[in-house]
A = this chain, B = another copy of it.
Amino acid sequence: MSINNSAKDRQERFDHGMAVLSSIDGESGEKVIDSLADISPELGHQVVAWAFGEMYSRPQLAPRDRQLVTLGMLTALGGCEPQLDVHINAALNVGLTPDEIVEALLHAAVYCGMPKALNATFVAKRVFTDRGLLPGDLGQ
């Protein structure tokens, strides 16, 4: 029992989502979608068309706020270091400062414990290094 989505409607949703994803995640997000093309194009479509196109772009919560929630979730879930990589990049793209990101992961220590906070912080270390933010001035 499957709805008959017009191909045009489906493509529009994808294109809109891709515009959102590119502005938020940039390259690291686009790479994930590309790597899904051979194994699960539908999962790629849903990440783009639904997760970004329909959910992320809602005006009820700003991208900066969404990324704060996401940093909390990915730290708490554990084992989601690949996604933390993408989303720490996204956090920087939407206006969180490196210090704010590091502080959010420190805050996580209280609620998730030290192991998960450490694992997330080391992902931030890699991302910041790749973006030339380390070695540098993280003022704490």
Residues of A whose CB lies within 8 Å of any CB of B are: 1-3, 9, 12-13, 16, 19-20, 23, 32, 35-36, 38-43, 46-47, 50-51, 53-61, 65-66, 68-83, 99-100, 102-119, 121-122, 124-125, 128, 134-135, 138, 140
Tallying the copies of this chain within the complex gives: 6
If A72-B71, A76-B73 touch, whether A58 touches B2 (CB-CB below 8 Å) is yes
Contact A61 B107 (CB under 8 A): yes
| Cβ-defined partner of A118 (8 Å) among B32, B59, B68, B135 | B32
Q: Which secondary structure characterizes the binding site on chain A?
A: helix
| Among A43, A55, A105, A116, residue most surrounded by chain B Cβ atoms (within 10 Å) | A43
Residues of B close to A83: CB separation below 8 A: 111, 114-115, 118-119
Question: A72 contacts which of B57, B68, B134 (Cβ < 8 Å)?
Answer: B68
Q: How many Å lie between the Cα of A80 and that of B77 in the bound state?
A: 11
Q: Which of B42, B72, B79, B111 contacts A78 (CB 8 A)?
A: B79
